Amino acid sequence: MISVGGTIMDELPVLLQLAFLMKIFINGDTDIDEAAQTIGSLMPNRLFAAYRAQFTTDDALFSESLRKAAFLTVLSKEVAKELQKEQPDGKACLERLFGSEEFRRAVGCNSYRQELWYRKEWFQESVFLLALGTCMQECAHKEAVHQLLASWLRADLASEYKVRKLIEHVN
């Protein structure tokens, strides 16, 4: 994921800086949708304009990429709920994540011919950031976070970019 098609390692320093800066404006119990809206309203693309070259996208996608700092800023309520269980359910957690407008936006979710599709690279980057953010917030459950992430990435391999198949293949 990181070396083939992914740019998250180039973008990560900027996203981490933005996430730490957002702690001033965002409470820890804020949900990801609200955190991303707050990030967007503060126009971080202007604040981080000097770092624009690290993002291999146009200006609009640069702003969208910066919104992903929300995954590093607050703990996902969907993931936190699973981490409270003795056996986290990756499938149920991913279904709840797709219920989040911001998560769907971050993974490029769209509907075509009555099928929900997503962008594979955006999904991989988003779940990586979500896992990293979860470990930054909730370091006691690293192994469970790793298991969730691994199950999502394995399912991604068989999904054919379809959300339905992605969720079906989570084990």
Q: In the prediction, which pLDDT does 2 show?
A: 42
Q: In the prediction, which pLDDT does 6 show?
A: 55
Question: Cα–Cα distance between 18 and 12 in angstroms, integer?
Answer: 10
At position 131, the amino acid (one-letter code) is A
Are the C-beta atoms of residues 133 and 110 closer than 8 Å to each other? no
pLDDT in tens, the chain (171 residues): 343 345 677 788 999 999 999 999 998 789 999 999 999 999 998 888 888 777 767 788 888 889 999 999 999 999 999 999 999 999 999 999 999 999 999 999 999 999 999 999 999 999 999 999 999 887 788 899 999 999 999 999 999 999 999 999 998
For the beta carbon of residue 69, count every other beta carbon within 10 angstroms. 27
Residue 104 is part of which domain span?
8-168
Q: Is residue 149 part of a domain?
A: yes
Q: Is residue 1 part of a domain?
A: no
At position 84, the amino acid (one-letter code) is Q
Q: In the prediction, which pLDDT does 27 show?
A: 87
Q: Is residue 30 part of a domain?
A: yes
Rounded to a whole number of angstroms, the distance between the first and last alpha carbons of the chain is 20
Give the pTM. Answer: 0.89
Q: Is residue 65 part of a domain?
A: yes
Q: Is residue 2 part of a domain?
A: no
Q: Is residue 3 part of a domain?
A: no
CA neighbor of 74 nearest in space, from 30, 139, 18: 30
Q: Is residue 75 part of a domain?
A: yes
Q: Please report how many Cα atoms fall inside a 13 Å half-sphere around the Cα of residue 18, on the Cβ side.
A: 28
- Name the domain count of the chain: 1
